Amino acid sequence: MINAIAIDDEPLALRLVTEYIEKTPGLKLLGGFDNPLDAMEFLSRESADLIFLDIRMPDLTGLEFTRSLVKGPKVIFTTAYEKYALEGFRLEVVDYLLKPFSYEEFLKAVRKAQRLIRLEKGVPDKVEASNEFLFLKSDYKIKRINFDEILYIEGLKDYVKVFTRNSPKPVLSLTTMKLLESKLPASKFMRVHRSFIVNLDRIDTIERSRIVFGKTYIPVSDQYKDKFQDYLNRNFLI
């Protein structure tokens, strides 16, 4: 888990960034500050891995704040002004988000920061797989997931949810469906929708072109319908 704080003297901008942090897997919000001096006092007591930092603020600018940091948190600038980009580059900030920025842009910046932090801490940044199980990054940990425990996988932009038999909560990981699909054995798993991969061995019920897992109905899209129908035909007994 990466501990993050946000600093911005504009209330709406601060609220947006803190909301983005709270809904992003792998990030933990330690606090939001509308005054950089309060944030500096907080960092004298607590440790943060990542700071989302506005530049033009009273008392202390984001540039001055970054220069004051002593070998610690990574910084992502969040600003409405392009002219500080070169200075941000010189300060070796992770990224430069120009307001107003989308959640997708925010996630791309977060992924850059996560790669750098993992590299510095010696945590592998790849999904590793075998014939029976897979190691997946989740909440700054690496979890082993046995293939036969997986029910289905849901993709949501830059992260995935892996639903398993023995846990009420899915495993969240900041990776892509394309990468994960490449690590899964094709004999056991099939992509049936842009957002879903299913474990073929765990399918019990199919209803109106939808695969049923408990109360969850997974659609089979037109793009994958022929492939899925071929699988059914090969395993259908009249």
pLDDT tens-digit readout, 192-218: 999 999 999 999 899 888 999 988 999
| pLDDT for residue 128 | 52
Residues comprising the chain, all counted:
238
Please, what is the Cα angle at 166 between 173 and 190, to 5 degrees?
60
pLDDT beyond 90 at 9? yes
Radius of gyration of the chain (CA): 22
Kindly indicate the confidence band of residue 13, based on its pLDDT and cuts at 50, 70 and 90: very high
What distance in Å separates the CA atoms of residue 78 and residue 100, rounded to the nearest whole number?
9
| pLDDT for residue 25 | 82
Residue 199: strand, helix, or coil: strand
Task: Give phi and psi for 192, each to the nearest 5.
Answer: -115, -5
pTM for the model: 0.58
Domains in the chain, CATH or no CATH each: 2-121 (3.40.50.2300), 128-234 (2.40.50.1020)
Residue with tokens 């993992």: 118
Q: Cβ distance 211 to 151 under 8 Å? A: no
